[in-house]
Amino acid sequence: MTSSPQEAVGHRFDPRHMQHARERSWAALEGIRQRMRPGVSEDEARAAAHEVFAELGMERLWHPVIIRIGPNTTKIYRERSEPDVRLGENDIYFIDLGLVFDGHEGDVGDTFTVGHAPEQQACADAARTLFQRVAEAWRQQGLSGEALYAFAEQEAQAMGWRLNHAIKGHRVSDFPHAVHKAGDLGEFGERPASGLWILEIQIAHPTEPYGAFYEDLLTL
């Protein structure tokens, strides 16, 4: 795999299982998206998420289910949501999942809108576009983790959005990846290996109270 201690894996690690966990995690996210309706609260959406997980045979969570609605989409994972926020008729929300399948960690996130919310939809689209630009820079230029987030900052500014600097990506592996103490992707001074790192992008409107989130596994 790699000689870097920050990219160490356990004895059970299998790239095929990592890909399976990724695919199942995206399927779970889509299942939750299909259940999102105006009026739902974040707590209710999380409860519905566990129904989806059971259908897909998820083994466990490795981080809590995060669903943010409306103004809460500007918050990072460590922050508590403002209470009593429900999905409006014309609104934005994101889903962030950390799931374990076959002993391997999936971590996916995406942002969606309901109703007629063109400004919020532009934000969701921008998060996906920025992710793709940064991931392609990693593939084509071999940038380090640090350089990837410097590049992300430049691109976000050029696109007219504010990058959330508290979100810097991280390792995944066979569960639990935390034993390897790899730190954030944005602090990794080497070129990240394929299939081991999650690139996270969170942006916000420069003046309005909404943002967007997208994350996926960096793979060649």
pTM, two decimal places: 0.96
Over residues 23-53, the pLDDT tens digits come to 999 999 999 999 999 999 999 999 999 999 9
Length of the chain: 220
Q: Bridge partners of 96? A: 66, 109
Reported confidence tier of residue 181, pLDDT bands at 50, 70, 90: confident
Q: What does the alpha-carbon distance between residue 194 and residue 218 come to, in Å, rounded to a whole number?
A: 6
Reported confidence tier of residue 2, pLDDT bands at 50, 70, 90: low
Which residues touch 202 (CB under 8 Å, ≥6 apart)? 76, 127, 163, 164, 167, 211, 212, 213
For the domain with range 5-217, which CATH number is right: 3.90.230.10, 3.30.70.1150, 1.10.150.120, 3.30.413.10? 3.90.230.10
- Tell me: pLDDT of 182 over 90: no
Nearest to 55 by CA among 100, 21, 24, 22: 24
* pLDDT above 90: percentage of residues in the chain: 93
Over residues 151-178, the pLDDT tens digits come to 999 999 999 999 999 999 999 999 998 8
- pLDDT at res. 4: 85
